[in-house]
Structure 1
Amino acid sequence: MSVSVRIPTILRTYTNGESEVSADGGTLAEVLDSLEASYPGIKGRILDDQGAIRRFVNVYVGNDDVRFLESLETSTPAGAQVSVIPAVAGG
């Protein structure tokens, strides 16, 4: 199943400047594997060394934060939009 993945500016060096790319997969984990196959190195910027979503990266499927769903096992139906959003800190 193909989904659309919104890429934040900081990760666009991996996607040749593209702000939105397509990836395949029925779960978020499969979508990230598909992204990695097309754009080597990007998955390592989203997941930590233990394979969990990095603390300061937010991932949404539609309008839902995957941390409050099933994390990497969150379903990604065909046509869904996945958004990768780095957390912003400051004062």
Structure 2
Amino acid sequence: MDAAFFLETSIMATVHIPAQLRPMTAGVEHLEIDAANVRQLIESLETRFPGLRERLCDGDRIRAGLQVAIDGALSNKGFAARLAASSDVYFLPAIGGG
């Protein structure tokens, strides 16, 4: 067998940081993160930008008032939402209406 068969593939998702959280990322608007799901993505963000997880999460859930959009579609799977190679991930603040 080809040695390349045994190499793990990376899933490099692009995460877009909401404007209100950019002060915590030194102004970084988006970055690529190797993650297979939203949980891994958030943990990688926390490693890079300490304190960001608590702004995105409430315990083991995405914080109320935030939605996760993956490749243009809102996800209701929370941390378990799977990412594909080249996924675009957005954390969108809820928009109030009335």
Same fold (TM > 0.5): yes
Instruction: Choose 1 or 2 for highest CA Rg.
Output: 2
Correspondence for 1:22: 32
Gaps of 5+ in 1: none
1:1-57 CA-to-partner distances (Å, cap 9, x unmatched) read 211011111000111111112222101111111111111111111101x22011101
Equivalent position amino acid for 1:76 in 2: L
Correspondence for 2:61: 52
Equivalent position amino acid for 1:74 in 2: A
- Identity, % of aligned pairs? 27
Q: Distance in 2 between matches of 1:39 and 1:21?
A: 12
User: What SS does the corresponding residue of 1:43 show, helix, strand or coil?
Assistant: helix
Q: Distance in 2 between matches of 1:36 and 1:76?
A: 18
Q: Distance in 2 between matches of 1:42 and 1:4?
A: 16
Aligned residues of 1:29 and 1:73 also touching (Cα < 8 A): yes
Greater helix share, structure number: 2
Say yes or no: does 1:5 pair with 2:12: no
4+ residue stretches of structure 1 with deviation over 4 A?
Answer: none
Gaps of 5+ in 2: 1-10
Q: Distance in 2 between matches of 1:21 and 1:51?
A: 23
Q: Distance in 2 between matches of 1:39 and 1:57?
A: 19
Count how many residue pairs are aligned between Structure 1 and Structure 2: 88
State TM-score, norm by structure 2.
0.82
